[in-house]
């Protein structure tokens, strides 16, 4: 899994892990913060949330255009600095009035612009590592590893947000609304770690930073020349993919909006006994160690390596056994904690996904990236069909909200519905997101790599703007109707993708 990968991959992946940890710590609680601190409705909060996500993923287009001219590495560094000041402003408790609201919007603009300079250009640099023929065959697996690293940061983010807020309230005496700012401050610390990693290991990837004046001296690979017709075909194929993934991200990022509302308003608020185990992030980490340990047992080429892997598996299993024995109490289930399951599944299932596709590749049967993306859309539709089953017999959100305010509400939905939905969504994500990024890095015309990677994020941005649809639908409509909208859009997008498949696979 980790063999024959360029050293720069791990440095860039770890730098991204730190940044993503801070970002997802903020995102885990941001929608709830808007309501509790400013008293905004779910609909208005959804518009702000979706608009912010839209900017975060639209501005990489600007960042890519700038990087094509000034260099990818330079934009990454500037982006981290701008993000830091944005998170710092968001971490300052300014109250709940107009001045605080203006400060929050200013912080969001800084964060989104800084992310625009950082995110896409870092991924272009990862792709550039695989322009070297020595590593070209490892491009898809390399992006799977990179994507896994992103989700290691995201895995711990919800727990970090919840725990630091509890600490601020119980130990420091802050109100619940003010405690949100401590979660935002985590992002400042994570960015310091991110930039430290970037510069500590810069020697492993300096040659792909895109400084044209230094590329020749550093031995950079010369980009291939394309005819105008080849360039047009590639850009057309990319635009078709961009159009489809809009609807995946619209549905997928409901995890921070309508799915979080569902967790907050309909899902059981406590878990008892063995049912507390999924909500302890260290239990999830132990499962990850077991998965990777088992793979190492079978893949290690030395007896010593196999023995170490077996010992890791045994230790993790003993830890889970100990946790099982002491799982006798009750824990509160906070809505943001459900967002830890998607990154957990990504990290745990990435080696499984790579092994499956590796076996298919060995037989000459591995699907090309566009086909994987279409399959991912179908899987995403299935996840929202599962939510339809989970919502049978429940009140509308407005009715449930009224019951909560009257003190007569019940929370009948099992938390395992959302845990299962995030599992299915993750299967779709693993088929679509890392494969899509890999596809862009491979197919994009060399002169427009930054712009085309930015185009991928623009598609994500449009999808994130449409995330607000979840907040608009959340009210008087039945939950079945809400989930059916997302399931239907994902299915229609998959059908469109299959209709365009010949054209897409021609350039893949």
- Any idea which residue has 């992006």 for tokens? 143
> Do 305 and 444 belong together in one domain?
no
> Do 413 and 458 belong together in one domain?
yes
> Do 86 and 60 belong together in one domain?
yes
Residue 1 lies in a domain: no
Predicted TM-score (pTM) of this structure: 0.79
> Do 279 and 292 belong together in one domain?
yes
> Do 328 and 393 belong together in one domain?
no
Strand locations in 208-362, DSSP E?
Answer: 270-272, 330-332
**d(C-alpha 30, C-alpha 28), whole Å:** 6
404: CB partners within 8 A, 6+ apart: 265
> Do 390 and 307 belong together in one domain?
no
> Do 362 and 280 belong together in one domain?
no
Using a 10 angstrom Cβ sphere, with 0-12 exposed, 13-18 middle and 19 or more buried, the burial of residue 268 is: middle
Q: Could you tell me which of 22, 70, 337, 307 has the C-alpha nearest to residue 191? A: 22
Residue 246 near residue 462, CB atoms below 8 Å: yes
- Any idea which residue has 């919007």 for tokens? 105
Give the per-residue pLDDT at 456. 86
Residue 183 lies in a domain: yes
Residue 115 lies in a domain: yes
**d(C-alpha 425, C-alpha 429), whole Å:** 6
Residue 217 lies in a domain: no
Residue 257 lies in a domain: yes
> Do 259 and 299 belong together in one domain?
no
Residue 222 lies in a domain: no
- Which among 332, 357, 381 is the end of a domain? 332
> Do 302 and 258 belong together in one domain?
no
- Which among 315, 332, 349 is the end of a domain? 332
Query: Can you give the pLDDT of all 508 residues of the chain as single tens digits?
Result: 666 788 899 999 999 988 888 898 888 888 888 988 898 887 888 888 878 877 888 888 888 889 888 888 899 999 999 999 999 999 888 888 889 899 999 999 999 999 999 988 898 898 888 888 888 878 878 888 888 888 888 788 888 888 889 899 998 888 888 888 898 898 888 999 999 999 999 999 898 887 655 555 545 455 567 788 888 888 888 988 899 889 998 999 898 789 999 999 999 999 999 999 999 989 999 999 999 899 888 888 888 889 999 999 999 999 999 999 998 889 999 887 888 898 899 889 988 888 888 888 888 888 888 899 999 999 999 999 999 999 999 999 999 999 999 999 899 999 999 999 999 999 999 988 888 888 888 888 888 888 888 888 888 888 878 888 998 899 889 999 999 999 999 999 999 999 989 888 888 6
Give the per-residue pLDDT at 115. 92
Three-state DSSP class for residue 185: helix
> Do 447 and 412 belong together in one domain?
yes
> Do 382 and 494 belong together in one domain?
yes
Query: What are the angstrom distances between the C-alpha of 341 and each of 144, 151, 258?
Result: 18, 10, 16
**d(C-alpha 129, C-alpha 218), whole Å:** 13
Torsion of CA 121, 436, 127, 194, to 10 degrees: 50
Helices (runs of H) and strands (runs of E) counted in the chain:
20, 2
Query: What string of DSSP letters covers 2-45?
Result: -TT--HHHHHHHHHHHHHHHHHHHHHHHHHHHHHHHH---HHHH
> Do 175 and 204 belong together in one domain?
yes
Residue 430, domain CATH: 1.20.1250.20
Which residues face 331 on adjacent strands? 271
Residue 220 lies in a domain: no
- Which among 332, 358, 373 is the end of a domain? 332
Three-state DSSP class for residue 209: coil
**d(C-alpha 395, C-alpha 400), whole Å:** 6
Three-class DSSP labels, 440-505:
HHHHCCHHHHHHHHHHHHHHHHHHHHCCHHHHHHCCCCCHHHHHHHHHHHHHHHHHHHHHCHHHHH
Residue 163 lies in a domain: yes
Note down the domain range covering 296: 271-332
Number of domains the chain contains: 2
């Amino acid at each position: 899994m980790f063999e024959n990968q360029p050293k720069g991959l791990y440095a860039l992946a770890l730098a991204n892990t730190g940044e993503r940890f801070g970002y997802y710590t903020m995102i885990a609680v941001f929608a709830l913060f808007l309501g509790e601190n400013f008293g905004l409705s779910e609909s208005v909060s959804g518009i702000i949330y979706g608009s912010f996500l839209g900017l975060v993923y639209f501005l990489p287009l600007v960042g890519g255009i700038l990087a094509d001219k000034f260099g990818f590495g330079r934009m990454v560094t500037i982006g981290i600095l701008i993000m830091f000041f944005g998170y710092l402003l968001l971490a300052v408790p300014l109250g709940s009035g107009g001045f605080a609201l203006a400060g929050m919007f200013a912080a969001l603009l800084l964060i989104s612009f800084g992310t625009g300079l950082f995110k896409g250009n870092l991924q272009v640099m990862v792709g550039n590592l695989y322009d070297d023929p020595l590593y070209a065959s490892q491009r898809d697996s390399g992006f799977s590893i990179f994507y896994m690293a992103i989700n290691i940061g995201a895995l711990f983010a919800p727990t970090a947000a919840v725990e630091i807020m509890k600490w601020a309230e119980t130990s420091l005496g802050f109100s619940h609304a003010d405690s949100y700012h401590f979660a935002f401050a985590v992002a400042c610390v994570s960015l310091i770690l991110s930039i430290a990693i970037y510069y500590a290991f810069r020697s492993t990837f300096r040659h792909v930073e895109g400084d044209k004046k230094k590329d020749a001296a550093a031995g950079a690979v010369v980009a291939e020349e394309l005819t105008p017709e080849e360039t047009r075909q590639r850009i057309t194929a990319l635009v078709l993919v961009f159009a489809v993934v809009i609807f995946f991200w619209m549905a997928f990022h409901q995890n921070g909006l309508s799915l979080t509302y569902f967790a907050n308003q309909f899902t059981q608020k406590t878990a008892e006994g063995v049912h507390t185990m999924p909500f302890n992030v260290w239990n999830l980490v132990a499962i990850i160690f077991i998965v990777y340990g088992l793979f190492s047992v079978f893949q290690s080429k030395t007896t010593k390596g196999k023995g170490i892997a077996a010992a890791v598996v045994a230790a993790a299993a003993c830890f889970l056994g100990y946790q099982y024995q002491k799982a006798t109490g009750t824990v509160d289930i906070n809505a943001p904690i459900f967002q830890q399951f998607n990154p957990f599944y990504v990290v745990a299932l990435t080696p499984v996904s790579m092994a499956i596709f590796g076996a298919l590749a060995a037989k000459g049967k591995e699907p090309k990236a566009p086909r994987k993306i279409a399959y991912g859309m179908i899987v995403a539709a299935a996840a929202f069909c599962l939510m339809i089953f989970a919502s049978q017999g429940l009140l509308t959100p407005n009715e449930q909200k009224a019951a909560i305010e009257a003190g007569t509400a019940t929370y009948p939905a099992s938390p395992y519905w959302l845990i299962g939905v995030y599992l299915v969504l993750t299967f779709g994500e693993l088929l679509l997101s890392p494969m899509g990024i890999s596809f862009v890095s491979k197919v994009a015309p060399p002169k427009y790599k930054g712009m085309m990677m930015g185009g991928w994020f623009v598609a994500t941005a449009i999808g994130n703007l449409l995330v607000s649809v979840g907040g608009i639908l959340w009210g008087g409509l039945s939950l079945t109707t809400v989930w059916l909208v997302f399931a239907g859009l994902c299915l229609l997008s998959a059908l469109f993708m299959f209709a365009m498949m010949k054209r897409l696979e021609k350039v893949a």
